[in-house]
Amino acid sequence: MTSTSLASSDLASQAPNYTDIQSIVAHDFDIMDEQVFGSLNSKVQLVMSVSKHVIDAGGKRMRPLITLLCARMFNDAPSEQAMHLAAITEMLHTATLVHDDVIDESGQRRGKPTANATWDNATAVLVGDYLIARAFNLLVGFQSLELLKLFSDGTCDIAEGEVLQLQHQHNPAATETDYLNIIDGKTSRLFMMATQGAAILQGQEQHLQALADFGQHFGNAFQIIDDVLDYSGDSELMGKNLGDDLSEGKPTLPTIKALELLKDSDKQGYEQLRIAVQTGKTPNAEQLIELVRSSGALDYCKQRALEETRLAQQALSSLPDNRYRQGLYQLTELASARLV
């Protein structure tokens, strides 16, 4: 680590605030945000309408923010290419959410109607496909085989992660290793693409491994935290009901660990949870949620999330020490603060 500690900077010593982090690259972010929809050019009006619906319902644009912070960390000057790549990253992320909602039969995301609920499954799937195709169409414009390889390999990994999750759906025998393989693809891979893509653009290939480590560990932490909140969060803030992952039979770490702990300590509770995972039937959802909470699984998951967060922060230590690196550090702190 350089002489200026990550944790001791002015930014890192303050309580994390997403708006403050975003303000570090405010100009770049605003241009990127316009480009996410502005880069679409379908001659089919329905494609444009559905795309606008899902993009407008988007979240905080954290993955493109990571790209912009990384690009500025290496070269503190406006980069049209970095803004464009960040918009493409968000386009891909949006496509995965559209497909997720179809798979999960979700009617809402972040408190707003999903594309499949507003139109239908077929329309949502095809528009998700369009967003992926358009993203790669735009990537060709960079004329970089290295960048194309990063995003094509990464998109394959994301799809494989989703298939692995389906494969282990309603499987009470799923292990923590299975879970990590799933989230490595479906979540962490896009974080890695967001960081490494910026390095390739800026000709900073010597930092690719450190950025891969940061992206993977931050992505892991982010997903574990998200899965913990399915049992302990605020359903209104999350835009979904507590225990949704359980009713969908998703192999999340809290459920996997709870089953492992209950197997030896509470046979009856273990059977209740096992049957719920296997069947997806949760008429006693509140009781099952309390079962997971009281098993000690959430404490274990919180520790794992903090371990992954520390590994992500350590990966930053070899990167250029400036306010953009501190912004990346603060994003990890902000994610961890959701556990409190």
- Structural domain contains residue 236: yes
- The H-or-E segment that residue 308 falls in is helix 297-315
Nearest 5°: the CA angle 197, 203, 205 is 70
Judged against a pLDDT cut of 50, whether residue 8 lies above it is answered with no
- Structural domain contains residue 303: yes
In which domain, by residue range, is 183 found?
6-337
- Structural domain contains residue 1: no
Check residue 113 and give its pLDDT: 86
- Averaged pLDDT for residues 286-314: 96
- Structural domain contains residue 178: yes
- The H-or-E segment that residue 182 falls in is helix 176-183
- pLDDT tier, 13 (very low <50, low <70, confident <90, very high otherwise): very low
Check residue 43 and give its pLDDT: 94
Total domain count for the chain? 1
- Averaged pLDDT for residues 247-267: 94
Residue 146 burial (C-beta neighbours within 10 Å; 0-12, 13-18, 19+): middle
Q: How far apart are the C-alpha atoms of 314 and 264, rounded to whole Å?
A: 36
Question: Do residues 327 and 69 lie in contact, with contact meaning Cβ atoms separated by under 8 Å?
Answer: yes
- pLDDT tier, 243 (very low <50, low <70, confident <90, very high otherwise): confident
Judged against a pLDDT cut of 70, whether residue 22 lies above it is answered with yes
Q: How far apart are the C-alpha atoms of 99 and 330, rounded to whole Å?
A: 30
- Structural domain contains residue 91: yes
- Structural domain contains residue 174: yes
Q: How far apart are the C-alpha atoms of 26 and 252, rounded to whole Å?
A: 35
Q: 3-class SS at 241?
A: coil
CA-nearest of 185, 182, 246, 254 to 225 is 254
- Taking 3-state DSSP, the helix, strand and coil percentages for the chain, each rounded to the nearest 5, stand at 75, 0, 20
Paired residues of 108 in beta bridges: 113
> What is the per-residue pLDDT across 146-192, written as a single tens digit (0 to 9) for each?
999 999 999 999 999 999 999 999 999 999 999 999 999 999 999 99
Distances (CA, A) of 122 to 50, 98, 118, 221, 313: 12, 11, 12, 33, 41
Check residue 110 and give its pLDDT: 74
Check residue 11 and give its pLDDT: 38
Q: What is the pTM of this model?
A: 0.91
Indicate which CATH number applies to the domain containing 313.
Answer: 1.10.600.10
Q: How far apart are the C-alpha atoms of 33 and 39, rounded to whole Å?
A: 10
What type of residue sits at position 231? Y
- The H-or-E segment that residue 113 falls in is strand 112-113
> What is the per-residue pLDDT across 204-229, written as a single tens digit (0 to 9) for each?
999 999 999 999 999 999 999 999 99
Round the average pLDDT of the chain to a whole number and report it. 91
- Averaged pLDDT for residues 50-62: 87
- Structural domain contains residue 222: yes
> What is the per-residue pLDDT across 89-135, written as a single tens digit (0 to 9) for each?
999 999 999 998 898 888 877 778 888 999 999 999 999 999 999 99
Q: How far apart are the C-alpha atoms of 196 and 100, rounded to whole Å?
A: 24
Q: Which has the higher per-residue pLDDT, 56 or 324?
A: 324
Question: Do residues 197 and 172 lie in contact, with contact meaning Cβ atoms separated by under 8 Å?
Answer: no
